[in-house]
Chain A
């Protein structure tokens, strides 16, 4: 076998008490695409950051073209022609594409932007990119930004490309385009590592697959000789049933009726356009869409955090039987109406919890108005905190630990636990399993299902279509702020939803779908 373009031997890395990587062995040849597969938090990104010089390994060796190298900084990585495309783009928003591409380079001769643009055009033509070198990054779509990142590393002459979850933010069409480009680069002799947890992408794109689990190296298999269930088993360790126990809704009644909502954001862009839907009690309504299609604004409208230009948000109070319009009311006014609304926002530590306060104090954010005196009641919140820690298996030294010291999954459990403890009639959750491992994710799904059984109207904004289809009763698909369609989850087709997500001019079919 030829010498590998890059080979890792026995790489380990710790962050404090967390073992991020342990004894990882990995190799990629020229003209090959390797998938690095693993759950969230399995150490994929840490490993790749060690190759690209962001972190330095505690143990182990790295070989490039058969020779041992030391990569102490991103600069070293460039020298060995390693290029990394990060999940969170490392671009300067204010700069143009070309300026970002040459950033940090020490080329000979005069600094000449025209020459740079010409080379960018040459690379674009070779691999089939479509990009305007003078466009500013802040004016670009996610897919364009990714293109800039890839051209950036190619411009530097990278022979080893690492892509960290490149498809996470792309539409299916954009993903196909990216894959075409990656295959073209492979045929051009580049060694490509793609980090992902989407199995179908692994199978359709890569030549070999390496699997990490909780920082440990599990093994490498040829893609042609494996299948989805074997990879899943390697990834999660034990065979997990992907079924989520879904029950049929019991006596659903219309709990929340959203009618023809328009929202215009600070920049004057219409982020929600004539959105209509109904959330029923005892039902989970899924909301699917490309990130940033208006999901956040939609939930904030209902929670009283977003100014609405047009439309109504009607709530049927199960206790009084009365109908209340929540539009233009503050969260406090909504609560005073007796509306029991719980909201788990996407931005957990920004909107959901105060990161420097401990778990008890965060519980008190919802209850501090209780009591007749000027002093706050600490006993009930403490009991609630202890219950949540115990029942949801939150890993924390104590209830008085600041939440910023907890891991993402535990933060989410604290937040979801608090919101559910408020005994809501409407529960809104946005990306509740983002950054969580499979076990924590299932715990969250079960909690949502229990709420559903209690007759709560659950609104679930998700990104994984498989989960949406298995968990929800109905799925509302949102595209560019418009309702693209509402489908029954039980007989939904993934491709159909994917297609609805990507077409933006679907106002006519979608807007009236749920009237």
Chain B
């Protein structure tokens, strides 16, 4: 029983860790399907988090008793807005100005973390307060469990004890998978990522698809940041608290072979690997760091295996990382 309880706690914790990764991975898959390799995802998730915090903070400070509805809605849309702006910067640079995608993405990550840390460090001083940011009321609303979760015993505690953002992540991944594989526009989007010249000749608006999927992908990824600050840390912000989760999300994209549905389980596995060192007793700190490396190691193994198998369906979108320019001769 004791072991079962520990296992259940571990699975629960793995899912909690996996949710931000799932948002990031789904967002990046949608982005990459349009041929844009957005390495700015870690920065976008970071900004998604701080935007939510700012929204919540401003709302909590402007009213006496914050209402649950607005506590949910304001940070939610603040987060979407922040990450959408970040993704727009990336889109404008890489799609319209055709800047190098890798360089732009990496710069965006640096920029996003800078923006997050700036507001994280100075938001309180704008209001002549001190200490650290904590929007506990909002965090509490975000953490609200399903009402019947507790009545379902261990199963409920393990799988149903999350805030609504956790379920939303899974729903978004499933919808994304369905969208890519079973809709006309999904087919068009995949064509843009595989062969933009062909898509263009087929009458598909390549530029629009690239912009839309990058921005929507960025907004989805930003929700991962929101989940982290509202649900996981319950509304408390610490600079650099998000860690390297953004890069893990990008690793999951490879691990899941660019399939949003596979990303669901992959995220939970990566979430588990991320924290498994806590559950193994008696590890030295060096061993812990080695174990934390596991997700990246697994990603490399997947890359090696899929490269060896050479199956076309397992490869990244063919034009990933390339700019598209129509009148090129």
Contacts of B158 in A (CB 8 A): none
The interface-forming segment of B46-54, B144-152, B199-207, B291-299 is B199-207
Contact of A105 with B318 at beta-carbon distance under 8 Å, contacts A74-B202, A93-B312, A94-B312 already known: no
CB contact between B195 and one of A93, A107, A111 (< 8 Å): that residue:
A93
Contacts of B198 in A (CB 8 A): 90-92, 103
Main secondary structure of the interface of B (DSSP, over half): helix
**Cβ contact within 8 Å between A103 and B182:** no
Contacts of A91 in B (CB 8 A): 195, 198
Would you give the shortest CB distance from B7 to chain A, in whole angstroms?
40
| Chain A residue with Cβ nearest B326 | A54
Main secondary structure of the interface of A (DSSP, over half): loop
Contact of A103 with B191 at beta-carbon distance under 8 Å, contacts A94-B313, A111-B182 already known: yes
C-alpha gap A74/B206 in the complex (Å): 12
Contacts of A92 in B (CB 8 A): 190-191, 194-195, 198-199
**Cβ contact within 8 Å between B201 and A138:** no
* A99 interface residue per 8 A CB criterion: yes
Contacts of B34 in A (CB 8 A): none
C-alpha gap A363/B197 in the complex (Å): 34
Would you give the shortest CB distance from A76 to chain B, in whole angstroms?
9
C-alpha gap A136/B311 in the complex (Å): 12
**Cβ contact within 8 Å between B313 and A90:** no
C-alpha gap A423/B233 in the complex (Å): 74
**Cβ contact within 8 Å between B195 and A104:** no
C-alpha gap A31/B200 in the complex (Å): 29
Contacts of A107 in B (CB 8 A): 184
Contacts of B168 in A (CB 8 A): none
**Cβ contact within 8 Å between B202 and A104:** yes
Tell me the residues in window 68-120 of chain A with beta carbons closer than 8 Å to chain B beta carbons. 73-75, 78, 84, 86, 90-95, 99, 102-107, 111
* A55 interface residue per 8 A CB criterion: yes
* B309 interface residue per 8 A CB criterion: no
* A375 interface residue per 8 A CB criterion: no
* B17 interface residue per 8 A CB criterion: no
CB 8 Å contact bits of A1-37 with B (1 = contact, 0 = none): 0000000000000010000000000000000000000
C-alpha gap A63/B113 in the complex (Å): 56
Contacts of A102 in B (CB 8 A): 184, 187
Interface bracket on B: 20 to 34
| Chain B residue with Cβ nearest A15 | B329
| Chain B residue with Cβ nearest A54 | B201
CB 8 Å contact bits of B178-193 with A (1 = contact, 0 = none): 0000111001101100
**Cβ contact within 8 Å between A111 and B183:** yes
**Cβ contact within 8 Å between A74 and B318:** no
| Chain A residue with Cβ nearest B184 | A111
* B129 interface residue per 8 A CB criterion: no
C-alpha gap A107/B185 in the complex (Å): 11
* B327 interface residue per 8 A CB criterion: yes
Contact of A75 with B312 at beta-carbon distance under 8 Å, contacts A94-B194, A104-B188 already known: no
**Cβ contact within 8 Å between B199 and A103:** yes
C-alpha gap A109/B194 in the complex (Å): 26
Contacts of A105 in B (CB 8 A): 184, 203
C-alpha gap A84/B199 in the complex (Å): 14
Would you give the shortest CB distance from B180 to chain A, in whole angstroms?
12
Tell me the residues in window 281-297 of chain A with beta carbons closer than 8 Å to chain B beta carbons. none
Contacts of B327 in A (CB 8 A): 55
Would you give the shortest CB distance from A40 to chain B, in whole angstroms?
14
Would you give the shortest CB distance from A218 to chain B, in whole angstroms?
23
Contacts of B195 in A (CB 8 A): 90-93
CB contact between A95 and one of B183, B184, B194, B201 (< 8 Å): that residue:
B194
C-alpha gap A90/B191 in the complex (Å): 11
Would you give the shortest CB distance from B258 to chain A, in whole angstroms?
11
CB contact between B184 and one of A54, A106, A136 (< 8 Å): that residue:
A106
Tell me the residues in window 354-384 of chain A with beta carbons closer than 8 Å to chain B beta carbons. none
C-alpha gap A487/B197 in the complex (Å): 42
CB 8 Å contact bits of B189-230 with A (1 = contact, 0 = none): 011001101111111100000000000000000000000000
Tell me the residues in window 437-455 of chain A with beta carbons closer than 8 Å to chain B beta carbons. none
**Cβ contact within 8 Å between B184 and A90:** no
C-alpha gap A284/B204 in the complex (Å): 49
Would you give the shortest CB distance from B154 to chain A, in whole angstroms?
42
| Chain B residue with Cβ nearest A113 | B182
Contacts of A95 in B (CB 8 A): 187, 190-191, 194
**Cβ contact within 8 Å between A75 and B203:** yes
**Cβ contact within 8 Å between B194 and A90:** no
C-alpha gap A261/B204 in the complex (Å): 47
Contacts of A138 in B (CB 8 A): 312
C-alpha gap A95/B313 in the complex (Å): 10
CB contact between B318 and one of A75, A86, A93, A136 (< 8 Å): that residue:
A93
Contacts of B201 in A (CB 8 A): 52, 54, 74, 84, 86, 90
List, sorted by A's number, 30 A–B pairs whose CB atoms are closer than 8 Å: A15-B329, A54-B201, A55-B327, A73-B203, A74-B200, A84-B201, A90-B197, A90-B201, A90-B202, A92-B199, A93-B318, A94-B190, A94-B313, A95-B187, A95-B191, A103-B187, A103-B188, A103-B199, A103-B202, A103-B204, A104-B188, A104-B199, A104-B202, A104-B203, A104-B204, A105-B203, A111-B184, A111-B187, A136-B312, A267-B310
Residues of A in contact with B (beta carbons under 8 Å apart)? 15, 52, 54-55, 73-75, 78, 84, 86, 90-95, 99, 102-107, 111, 136, 138, 267
Query: 11 new A-B pairs (CB below 8 Å) besides A92-B194, A105-B203?
Result: A74-B202, A74-B203, A90-B195, A92-B198, A94-B194, A94-B312, A94-B318, A95-B187, A102-B187, A105-B184, A138-B312
Closest 8 CB pairs of A and B: A104-B202, A75-B203, A90-B198, A104-B203, A104-B204, A90-B201, A103-B202, A92-B194
